[in-house]
Amino acid sequence: MAENQNQQAAARIRALTKQLNQYSHEYYVKDRQTVEDHVYDKLYQELVDLEQKFPEWVSLDSPTQRVGDHALEGFKKVIHEQPMLSLSNAFSKRDLLEFDQRVQKLSSKAVSYMCELKIDGLAISLKYQNGHYNGGATRGDGTVGEDITRNLRTVKSVPINLQQPLTIEVRGECYMPKASFVALNQLREENGEEVFANPRNAAAGSLRQLDSKVTSSRNLSTFLYTVADFGALTAATQAEALDQLDAAGLRTNHERRVCRSIEEVWTYIEEYQEKRQTLPYEIDGIVVKVNEFSSQAEIGYTVKAPKWAIAYKFPAEEAKTVIQDIEWTIGRTGVVTPTAIMTPVRLAGSTVSRASLHNYDLIQEKDIRLLDAVMIHKAGDIIPEVTSVLIEERSIDSAPYPMPTHCPVCQSRLVHLDEEVALRCINPMCKAQIKEGLNHFVSRNAMNIEGLGQKVLEQLYEKGLIKDVAGLYFLTETDFLSLDKIKEKSAHNLLQAIAASKNNSVERLIFGLGIRHVGSKAAKILAEYFGSLRSLKKAAVEEITAIDSLGGIIADSVVQYFKKPEVQELLQELEKADVNFEYLGVKKSEIAAIESAFKGKTVVLTGKLTEYTRESASEKIESLGGKTTGTVSKKTDIVVAGKEAGSKLTKAQKLGIAIWNEQQMMKAFKESDS
Ligand code: IVH
């Protein structure tokens, strides 16, 4: 019976893995969505649940394995058997014509050119062995790069298995889409962290992470453009090679075009200089390559770059304008952000009159003053930024812009927290923060209260009808009818939407409360782990850090948050209003319906394990209904001691706690599996 169930689970896990990988391939590689999000999510959740019950059937290419592993001490070096070259640049049509002439001189036959977009990211190399992902590296200095195998494994467009069993090395660009760059910077600004200057820096910062979980959360993508080691592939041209990469399941960029003359190349360049703004990723030029490999070989290389290719760089788009004012706005967490208000100018396809200055340090560093003439550009083609001040145009009576000392809304003193670059208003009663907090609470990923927009919330707050988020649940029809432009029908709809939100699973509430550093993903993990807000609010820092994917910063922030008296009061109000505090998804503890020695037990892993990493052992124990923590206390049931275990082992001995070695742990795993 159990055996039968086990076989059925194995088959279902295989089928789900295959199907989800197919959807994912279509979405991330082919840019085609073939399944609705909720259907995908449901199948994914089914797979997660099954894999937790039957961890022995988790395959390396399961979509659940793309979430990142534990942090590394440093990167290993990788020697590129074939150096990763760079390209010489062209800045004008004339440079391009000269390139064409050199090519004609060096090749015995007529050539065609492959035009490709020059993706603004980070060069990477990927290796496949018999069709299986076998490692990834950065370019480094071209000869020696860094081993970022684990990080690239989390990038969804990097296939774990190719469509054919090829042994090849391919190269390309890893990049961050413009939209992800904007979202990431917004989040960083809100958290008082430094923002990335452009998508390339953001991609580099995300790929060169010792903790692959960070990479995994960053939404990177790839385009491959070179085959470094063809293996069994045979291609005579760049066009064929790219088509073969496509067929193998590797993502290539489809804006490419074969041109028969340098004039055609120029037309392509002009076309994409226009189209550039509408692309979802940033490009900084066009790469022109001789298409025929035989001609490439004839033309040859310099030490640094191929002579058969050139990168045409787009001129930087800049505009000149004048700073009229600096506006300070307060975010939900009290971060005070300056925005430059400028004389409107046209820049890269739109009229620009505002640019974020990010923080006061930046104003000081660039010495930006009122009425200064400045040059602006668009970071990631989208976000206007001040590049430089034209100091020579400054009038003699101008003075440095002073650091604001008080919140422009509540007038309380502004502070710098810890190492943050941001200035903060730390008055929890600051109106601006409360209003932002209300907006966040009702937003789509939080309580998702439809129709309750900023204007309505503002009125409710200004009229004193609500003072915090709990107030929403005590509103009446009369309250809504007292607002501008709200008639009975919309009052009714709003009340219904508010009431419906009471039944949300608790991760929405946890996210909606706006606890610092707790994004929607962390909220989900906390909800799943603790099962309810009541348990979460009692959690100790160690209990939270024991969760594999959450770190100390989140744990501290959560614990500090629930300690605040005003938070406790708020929770009481929410409870009074009957807002659901429970996690309504599948609970981790319920997952381990099978009997195991770890069920309900608190386990501490210490010392060096040989067969398992501490992370994998901990995952396994949790999938079997146990809990792993980092500290030995009276509450600990089992201590698994590997080699060279130290103080934790001594403490366990003192407390008389059961002590197991790795073999005993593995035996218990085996027994739970059957
Ligand atoms: S070909 C030997 N193609 O630009 C061929 N490079 O300035 C070398 N890049 O390091 C590269 N898009 O990181 C090539 N379609 C493309 C590219 C591209 C972006 C980057 C790449 C390279 C740099 C050279």
CA of residue 65 to ligand 1 center, whole Å: 30
Neighbours of 81 (CB within 10 A): 10
522 three-state secondary structure: helix
The closest-lying atom of ligand 1 relative to the alpha carbon of residue 253 is: 15
Neighbours of 201 (CB within 10 A): 16
Q: What is the DSSP code (8-state) at residue 502?
A: T
The closest-lying atom of ligand 1 relative to the alpha carbon of residue 86 is: 24
CA of residue 61 to ligand 1 center, whole Å: 29
Nearest CA to ligand 1 atom 21: 123
At 669 the pLDDT is 87
User: Would you mind telling me the total number of residues written for the chain in this entry?
Assistant: 674
Nearest CA to ligand 1 atom 17: 118
CA of residue 413 to ligand 1 center, whole Å: 50
At 674 the pLDDT is 47
Span 216-257, pLDDT tens digits: 889 999 999 999 988 878 899 999 999 999 999 999 999 999
Nearest CA to ligand 1 atom 4: 118
Cα atoms in the 13 Å half-sphere on the side-chain side of 658: 12
pTM of the model: 0.65
Residues 361, 419 contacting (CB under 8 angstroms): no
CA of residue 228 to ligand 1 center, whole Å: 13
Residue keyed to tokens 């990080």: 151
Q: Mind giving me the DSSP string for 271-285?
A: HHHHHGGGSSS-EEE
Q: Mind giving me the DSSP string for 600-639?
A: T-EEEEESB-SSS-HHHHHHHHHHTT-EEESS--TT--EE
At 587 the pLDDT is 57
Mutate to test the pocket of ligand 1, among 173, 174, 223, 310 (most ligand atoms within 8 A of CB): 173
Which H or E run includes 187?
Answer: helix 178-190
Nearest CA to ligand 1 atom 6: 118
At 526 the pLDDT is 95
At 60 the pLDDT is 81
At 586 the pLDDT is 56
CA of residue 388 to ligand 1 center, whole Å: 29
Both structure tokens of 181? 């760059």
Q: From the candidates 105, 109, 118, 635, which is the catalytic residue?
A: 118
CA of residue 170 to ligand 1 center, whole Å: 12
Identify the bridge partners of residue 374 per DSSP, sorted by sequence position.
Answer: 321, 389
Mutate to test the pocket of ligand 1, among 225, 238, 252 (most ligand atoms within 8 A of CB): 225
Task: List the strands of the sheet with 602-606, edge to edge.
Answer: 627-629, 602-606, 638-641, 658-660
Cα atoms in the 13 Å half-sphere on the side-chain side of 461: 22
Q: Mind giving me the DSSP string for 543-570?
A: HHHTSTT--HHHHHHHHHHHH-HHHHHH
> What lines the ligand 1 site, CB under 6 Å?
85-87, 116, 118-119, 123, 173, 225-226, 287, 306, 309, 311
Give long-range contacts, CB 8 A cutoff, 24+ apart: 400-406.
400/364, 400/367, 400/369, 401/326, 401/363, 401/364, 401/368, 401/369, 401/370, 403/360, 403/364, 404/328, 404/336, 404/360
CA of residue 86 to ligand 1 center, whole Å: 7
Stretches in the chain below the pLDDT threshold 70: 1, 69-72, 380-381, 586-594, 673-674
CA of residue 381 to ligand 1 center, whole Å: 19
Give long-range contacts, CB 8 A cutoff, 24+ apart: 152-156.
152/124, 152/126, 152/207, 153/65, 153/66, 153/212, 154/66, 154/67, 154/68, 154/212, 154/213, 154/215, 154/216, 155/215, 155/220, 155/221, 155/222, 156/24, 156/27, 156/28, 156/66, 156/221
Mutate to test the pocket of ligand 1, among 80, 85, 86, 223 (most ligand atoms within 8 A of CB): 86
Strands 283-290 and 122-129: unpaired
Is 118 among the residues known to form the active site?
yes
CA of residue 84 to ligand 1 center, whole Å: 9
The closest-lying atom of ligand 1 relative to the alpha carbon of residue 116 is: 15
At 460 the pLDDT is 96
- What whole-number distance in Å separates Cα of residue 667 and Cα of residue 657? 19
Mutate to test the pocket of ligand 1, among 118, 256, 269, 290 (most ligand atoms within 8 A of CB): 118
The closest-lying atom of ligand 1 relative to the alpha carbon of residue 117 is: 15
Q: Mind giving me the DSSP string for 210-244?
A: SSHHHHHTT--EEEEEEEEE-TT---SBHHHHHHH
Burial label for 549, CB within 10 Å (0-12, 13-18, 19+), is middle
Mutate to test the pocket of ligand 1, among 82, 119, 265 (most ligand atoms within 8 A of CB): 119
Identify the bridge partners of residue 608 per DSSP, sorted by sequence position.
Answer: 643
Closest CA to 124 of 145, 109, 105: 145
